[in-house]
Amino acid sequence: MNPLLAKLQPYPFDKVRANLAGATANPALQPIDLSIGEPKHPTSALVKDALAGALEGLSQYPRSLGLPELREAAAAWARRRYGVAELDPATQVLPVNGSREALFAFGQTVLEPNARVVCPNPFYQIYEGAALLAGATPVFLNDGRGLEEIDWRGVQLAYVCSPGNPTGRVATLGEWKALFELSDRHGFTIASDECYSEIYLEEGSPPLGALDAAQRLGRKGFPRLVMFTSLSKRSNSPGLRSGFVAGDAALLKAFLLYRTYHGSAMSLAVQRASIAAWGDEAHVRENRRLYAEKYACVLPLVQDPLRTEKPDGGFYLWIETPIDDADFARRLYEQYNVMVLPGSFLARESQGVNPGSNHLRVALVAPIAECKEAVQRMMQLARSL
């Protein structure tokens, strides 16, 4: 058995189940589950029709490199979205089976044993798992702390998540500039997880992306930088397992070699559906409108003793609690039949603190009436404490 498996922590949702073990939800109230960031809006008919119309592709082995038409569709979307006019679909774009698989596999491609990997904290647990199973050591950059507080010696990979999961925070151009300068100095690779990039509240003001930032700063060819994106949140297609990576051609050449052996080629039917999805923005704008309505409805409901802020992107509320987050989540389930994710389960203790403590991640994925009802129940519990 691989001894590195013993270093993995339980996944956050396993911790949720353990936290609720033995608890009984209030049967008088309808259950509402806002603990998992799984999109619930309908998948566009455009995507479903394209998938159904390409089922003959099931009789063929797909190539890891993907169809040229898919790489071009992805590159064309990135050019429109980020203005990266020189992005080459032949060498700087690679289809992947969702960002989760790719973020993990990329770590296995670029890391040497005993390397160090910088992860945001709180964070998406795949970053930590990718580091540990590559024989590397995760180093956590606590939310709100500066890049200068990290010892960058020996770092080979830095994961960035913007908009962040769970905070919704977007990295600024100044922060990208500082990170690029550190990468130049120490030679580490940057993996930018942007799966929430198309969920934002101000239509016409999309979040800054890594490729966009690199181009603005004159970094031709995106040295030591790869961006990861997905259709899961953008197009409400988590079951499609489709996304792409883009950036440094040399890194993607090595990543393609790894993936050829890894056996992770995308089904041709899924590729055809993905081409349709990347080529359409109408369904994406409608998706944003639905999330914007939810935020407009629920944000005013979060009041003392709970605290939160409007996020820059994503579909989460990151709520500060007056008591221990796991205790609050358990009471919320027992008394009000609402499930949320304790923030401490999404973070690690670093520099003496767990930056997720006394926070809840609330995924606004349910219908608006359920989201409103859930937050109202949370406020009832908070005011009773």
Question: Tell me: the pLDDT tens digits for 37-84?
Answer: 999 999 999 999 999 999 999 999 999 999 999 999 999 999 999 999
Residue 143 is predicted with a pLDDT of: 86
Hey, what are 139's tokens? 């180093």
Return the domain boundaries, the chain.
3-42+283-384, 45-280
Specify the CATH class of 3-42+283-384 in words: alpha beta
Across the chain, which has 385 residues, the per-10-residue mean pLDDT values are 95 95 97 96 96 95 96 98 95 96 97 96 96 97 86 97 96 97 98 98 95 97 98 97 98 97 93 98 97 98 97 97 98 98 97 96 97 98 96
User: Which of 49, 95, 35, 7 lies closest to 271, judged by CA?
Assistant: 95
Domain 45-280 has CATH 3.40.640.10: yes
Identify the bridge partners of residue 118 per DSSP, sorted by sequence position: 139, 158
Separation of alpha carbons 137 and 331, rounded Å: 35
Identify the bridge partners of residue 353 per DSSP, sorted by sequence position: 350
Separation of alpha carbons 4 and 1, rounded Å: 9
Cβ proximity of 222 and 211 under 8 Å: yes
Q: List strand residue ranges (DSSP E) for the chain, in order.
A: 32-33, 93-96, 116-121, 137-142, 155-161, 189-193, 225-230, 243-247, 316-320, 338-339, 341-342, 359-363
Check for a shared fold between 3-42+283-384 and 45-280: no
Query: Residue 18: which residues within 8 A CB-CB, separation 6 or more?
Result: 10
Residue 144 is predicted with a pLDDT of: 67
**Prediction pTM value:** 0.96
